[in-house]
Structure 1
Amino acid sequence: MVVTGTGPVPNEGNAMNATNARPDGHRVVVLGAGYTGMYTALRLAHRTRRDGVRITLVNPSGRFVERLRSHRIAAGQELAHHKIRDLLAGTGITFVEGTATAIDPAARRVTVDGAAPPDHELRYETLVHALGSAADTGAVPGADAHAFTLDSPGSAGRFAARTAELAASGGAVTVCGGGLTGIEAATEIAESRPGLRVTLISSDEPGGMMGAGARAYVRRALDRLGVTVESGSRVAKVLPGAVELADGRTVRSDACLWTAGVTVPPLAADAGFATDARGRIVVDAALRSVSHPEVLAIGDAAAVRMAWGEIHGTCQSGVPTAQQAADTIVRLLRGKPVRPFRFGYVHQPVSLGRRDAVIQFTRADDTPRRAYLTGRAAVAYKELVSGSPLVVYRLSRRMNVSANFFKGGRATRRPAV
């Protein structure tokens, strides 16, 4: 659990203290070049550009993936191809394309598979764990074997290729999971592939976290696009040509897209870091591992609590944790007390195909306010939100750009319990 507060966080037990006086040569390894890892690396590089800090960013692919738009790939749309090396150009950050397979915290060493030379080892004084999460296809029998995910452009692209074949023959597609990702995927697919029969399967009402008005708007959009909704239904098994529900019914499914639940890589737990029941690294108020303070965890990889409860994995909350991690490292290197992380939610933006969207505005704890936005204005708002990380990255190469616009106000001034 995280303890937050309004004052500086003590630095005791910090493994960076030996280098506080002279950060030159301090080695920082960032694992994961998604929304959070990319921002931490870029912000840290700019803020330490005169300090000689050596930053290495590790990622399995050389492509930066816009996860906020992965549902569009699944619907057969082409997205811009952003090369990580291009985003890092001129920053001094070293990019290693490979998969982190092991962390040795005693030796402060990361083993990277797929890098050159093979089994490349990276040493660090500070490690930032930003490996994110993936769809939890292991929770339901058959999902790992028969369901597609949005975890990578490759998987989303294979689903798109399959649905293109099915559309001509009136095939049936299921989207399992009625959260924001599932809603976006179902509506995008139904709009792009009108020949398909699309069913959205959800244990709760789709958009259940929204207010009544926005939730009703989502339901009308699903109806307008011809999406069949199976709400209150739990998936028991995914079969080659169907999805079996807990009540014994089956839903025809020539292709299944799994968006229900996430899991994190076992790398942190295997390394002996303190983790919660879901495998996320338990962090302090400054996002340092409570068991290994030279390690910071951000985004979906971290178990972060505010006074109002636990932060859940979204880009909206993840990018501010990335900013916090970079700033924490800078303060530690300069011998300054670190500051506690503060964050509050603002909105739940959901696209409903290319021509419609709904934006539910929220309180700091992500509970819905009465206000929501729909239609063309919501489409423009959603596109602005989805494209903002890349704008922040490009600006961050030249200046300090804040991505934490709302820190929660009174909701985050008292400590978590």
Structure 2
Amino acid sequence: MGLGAVLSRIREPEESTSYSLDYQPEVKRSRPLNRKERRALKQAELKESYENISAIKIPDYKKATPPVFKIIEVDEQAFQNYNASFGYNATRNNNYVRYSLLGPSGQYAAVASQDRYVRVYKLENDKPHIHWKHNMGGLVYDIKFMNNDKFLVTSKEHPIHAFDAETGERVGAYIGRDHADAVEAAMCVGMVGDTVIGGYKKDFKLWNVERGGKPVSNFPYYDKKSYNGLTGRAMSICAHPSMPNIFAAVGCCDRIAVYSDKWKSPISTIETNTKSYTHVLYSSDGMKLYASERKGDIHCFDLRMNMMCQILKREMTTNHRAIFDIDSSLLFSGTSSGEIVAYDIGSVDEELEPISKTRIASTCVPCVSVASGKLVACSGERIFPSVGLCDTDEENENQLDSFTLYPANSFQFISYAF
């Protein structure tokens, strides 16, 4: 065998193995997308997401049924025959009612008036009667019920007192003092868990509900480091319905602040165009805050976006602290024209008008409270409107008729049905 035959035998397996392998062409890498292509891809993704969202069927909103109000009992006698030796001449005979709050059980109602008394009504068989009364020694600033039939009262130049609505016994006193160690009155009071919170001139003071006396701690309204919190005195405190240690506050400034009594500082602030608010209340789910203007409407704020989302139109021209209340999807409030109004707060409209209204008084209705399917309200103004000398005879007659037909200073027990 020659050299050429040997070399040919050696080449044959190499050629066979080379031809048996599968041929794979070289794949070129794609270039990166430029700005125009990335923008087009993003728009296509957004269009697809919008189409998916539009395909979701949102259930139709069911409007709330307007409630029908019915006055069951009116108490005017308890607030008559009043003659004070102090104050302005226009208010010495005017025992106007400032507060009427229902307890969580719906069996007791705490009522405060100009004569410095707190009266507790017992609602038995839809016939309220005065269960007991107590002189607070000063003008009552705020009342707040606890989770039971005990309530807190703060009055001028006095500490915060806790009373048992059933027995009338004073069960606690929470004393706040200023820099001169003098007793200072809280302008508002609140309850967060087992903590009593009082709003004073520049700060919140905190107590354990089981232990009165000196406050356990305190912290200022405004945090200079984070620029959060109220810049004026607090006028109303409301605890969050589901989150512990969280409460909201409004007052004599254009801000609404949310605080944590655990961190002792504000955690969120909403700036508004209103000079002051007098009452604040959380919605039942805790997602929204409702705040009452000093003179005017009720504003609704969405806490998820920290912005105003609704305005509840209301006639309120007096400087009273107008207190409203919420029952499920309805918000109840009073007006300066002597009416009780109800709003459907489940609506998504930016401006809400009352779905139901009923006149119950000839003067302002500063406070409405709802609990356990019952509603109580009070009426009265600091100064009664007088008949103008330049008014026509017809206007004077209409005004006098309203004073005759409707009560002035009163406590009223009202039912509402759908």
- Larger strand proportion of the pair: 2
**More relative contact order in 1 or in 2 (CA 8 Å, sep 6+)?**
1
Give the structure with higher Rg (CA).
2
Higher helix share: 1
